[in-house]
Structure 1
Amino acid sequence: MRRTPTRRLFAAALLAAAVLAPMTAIPAAANHTAAIDRCDKDECRPGGLGPELTARLDKAVEKVRKEAGIPGVVVGLWMPGKGNYVRASGVADTATGEPMTTSPFVRIGSETKTFTVTAQLKLVDDKRIRLDDPIAKYIQGVPNGRRITLRHLAEMRSGLFPYSSDPDFVHDLLSDPQRPFTPRELLAYGFKHPNTFAPGKQFEYNNSNLILLGLVIEKVTGHRLADVIDKGVLHPAGLHRTLFPEGSEFPEPHPRGYTNQTLSGEVTDSTDWNPSWAWAAGAMISDLHDLRRWAKIVATGTLLSPETQRQRLKMLPTGHPGTSYGLGIFESDGWIGHNGSIPGYETVTVYLPSKKATLVLMLNTDITYEGQEPSSLVARAITEIVTPDNIYDRPVATPGVGR
């Protein structure tokens, strides 16, 4: 079934619309590879979760993968005191049948927001900015910018119109997915629309908010956002396989990515699309074990002061039962973290404080199945088995590009 791309594209993985058909003609063969686990020795004991539980997880993941038409999926689950489950299933390339492995780089889409907001919050800790500063203090020309604060932007309550939901933006991007966009060009697509509500009045997932935060970080520091994140976030966190690309570069190895966010609605290979359109909201790249490490860091606030982390985790309702949102981070039935969706790829990186458990997923498609994010379907199937009292359950996908 074809569908109009202007309604879903890059809103960002929280909420989304449009029921899409599963991808067709995908090799069904699974490739389960047990990777070497790099768990910190104080986090989980070596070895798997036992043959019975492992078999249940294998079956559940493969069932969702086939039903939803997911080419390939990587799962990393680490449960202290119980063991771990690290698997790759399906294919990295539908044309060659190359099997998926547990070691590739992937585009992490909206998980980029956790890095951008962490960089913002480090500036708060350094007393260089305040969360309740109006955006107009730093960036001119923002509609209602004197009332919209940096806090509103990070918690998705600004009321600005999302540039990635603008039909002209969607057309311009999909007409030439290789073209570069500047942050100011992106904001212009949204700023031509009226604001949708008064600041702080409600939640609306919005990439425009993060583009503005990226510009604030650059203005305050005098450095490129990518360099600030690299030096101030990635290095202190010990993330050596996570990067903020300048263009469409993509380190090897990586799986091919598949999307139907196209002008025709047909499935296409979007591996080498330029992610500059997502910039501070969704352009970054990482791998399984860096994301595992990041899940605990961002959820527990290792890089921030206790007070700033408390502000970050002040979760507010989103209007979707079971899901709340803080400062660039969400909670879903106890799981804290973020997911990402960019044409061709989806990820989930979440941490469950009550059990000190970490779940990371990486998929090489963003095509929804019966209105559901494919990554959410996999995460739900896994958590129903391993943490039945804490089931990851994201709402259906939202309008716009890059959820």
Structure 2
Amino acid sequence: MMTSVIVQQLVGEGAIDIDAPLAAQMDLTGLEDIPNIHDVMVRELLSNRPGIPDFDSIPGQSGLRAFIERLMQHPDRPLETGKLLALASGQDASFAPGEAYEYWNTNFLLLQKLVEQITGDSFGQVFSNRVFSVAGMKDSSLKSDGTFENGLLSYAELVPDQIIDVTDAPLDFGASGGVVSTTSDMIRFLDALLVSRALLSPGQMEEMLDFRTPDSTPSQDG
């Protein structure tokens, strides 16, 4: 949601065209082999309708998901957004852009790359300038920034039947869930978004909450 807010802000400023192809608005070097990348619109990425496969679901050679396989094989090597996006290269598209709805994290990593190129800032800095500071979120950061302290330990079942401490795993989900925050800060975010409306103009908020299928039928998916 925070990533969508940032994109909507830039749309309102005229820096991003929501109904233009992603390829027309950013350098795709290194991303050329991601399916649908040359045709997908920014709106389709925001509404989870690009048909681009998710890095989180791509299988590895051992039967584990590919990104988990790499993390387990090389736990000391950072697995950042560029490497996660590379997992989608050469895969088959799920469907043509706009034809269906499918929530995938890859969509938001691509939007992160777009925002970074448009603004010239790191995504952590963009979050700080456009969301955290505006909403008064003093205890939030992007995990890759490494600025948080005294956080709760995190555990995940990366391997079947094995619960692993992933608190310090060198895994950067970036725009697809990489923010480390607190309950209080998330309340501040929702207040700034939905109550005080400090983050988006009325027109941008209306656009963000207007979920529709490709034929303009109102929908709950988006």
**TM-score grouping bracket, smaller chain normalisation:** 0.7 to 0.9
Cα distance in 1 for partners of 2:110, 2:133 equals 24
Kindly state the Cα deviation for residue 190 of structure 1 after the two structures are TM-superposed.
0.8
1:258 to 155, 178, 202: 155
2:168 to 245, 264, 272: 272
Gaps of 5+ in 1: 1-113, 318-322, 327-403
> Residues 124 and 145 of structure 2 are in contact (CA less than 8 Å); yes or no, is this contact kept in structure 1?
no
2:77 to 179, 185, 194: 179
User: Which segment drifts farther, 221-230 or 238-247?
Assistant: 238-247
Kindly state the Cα deviation for residue 311 of structure 1 after the two structures are TM-superposed.
1.1
> Residues 248 and 272 of structure 1 are in contact (CA less than 8 Å); yes or no, is this contact kept in structure 2?
no
Task: Give the AA of the match of 1:118.
Answer: V
> Residues 258 and 270 of structure 1 are in contact (CA less than 8 Å); yes or no, is this contact kept in structure 2?
yes
The corresponding residue for 1:136 is 23
TM-score (norm 2): 0.84
Kindly state the Cα deviation for residue 258 of structure 1 after the two structures are TM-superposed.
2.2
The corresponding residue for 1:151 is 43
> Residues 163 and 191 of structure 1 are in contact (CA less than 8 Å); yes or no, is this contact kept in structure 2?
no
TM-score (norm 1): 0.48
Kindly state the Cα deviation for residue 173 of structure 1 after the two structures are TM-superposed.
2.3
The corresponding residue for 2:184 is 289
The corresponding residue for 1:116 is 3
Cα distance in 2 for partners of 1:182, 1:272 equals 14
Q: Which has the higher contact order (CA 8 A, sep 6+)?
A: 1
SS in 2 for 1:260: strand
The corresponding residue for 1:165 is 57
Higher strand share: 1
Structure 1 pair 145–156 and aligned structure 2 pair: CA distance change class (3 A): same
> Residues 134 and 198 of structure 2 are in contact (CA less than 8 Å); yes or no, is this contact kept in structure 1?
no
1:298 to 179, 182, 193: 193
Equivalences for 1:4-403 in 2 at 5 Å? 114-137=1-24, 138-140=26-28, 141=32, 142-167=34-59, 168-246=66-144, 250-252=148-150, 254-262=151-159, 264-276=160-172, 278-300=173-195, 301-316=197-212, 324-326=220-222
Higher helix share: 2
Structure 1 pair 125–204 and aligned structure 2 pair: CA distance change class (3 A): same
**Fraction of identical pairs, as percent:** 27
SS in 2 for 1:219: helix
Task: Give the AA of the match of 1:279.
Answer: G
Indicate the RMSD between aligned Cα atoms, in angstroms. Answer: 2.1
Cα distance in 2 for partners of 1:161, 1:204 equals 9
Kindly state the Cα deviation for residue 178 of structure 1 after the two structures are TM-superposed.
4.5
Kindly state the Cα deviation for residue 261 of structure 1 after the two structures are TM-superposed.
1.8
Gaps of 5+ in 2: 60-65, 214-218
Task: Give the AA of the match of 1:266.
Answer: Q
Cα distance in 2 for partners of 1:147, 1:185 equals 22
Kindly state the Cα deviation for residue 170 of structure 1 after the two structures are TM-superposed.
2.8
Task: Give the AA of the match of 2:176.
Answer: A
Cα distance in 2 for partners of 1:248, 1:218 equals 18
Task: Give the AA of the match of 2:71.
Answer: L
Task: Give the AA of the match of 1:303.
Answer: L
How many residues are treated as equivalent by the alignment? 205
Task: Give the AA of the match of 2:57.
Answer: S
Structure 1 pair 299–280 and aligned structure 2 pair: CA distance change class (3 A): same
Kindly state the Cα deviation for residue 226 of structure 1 after the two structures are TM-superposed.
0.8
Kindly state the Cα deviation for residue 274 of structure 1 after the two structures are TM-superposed.
2.4
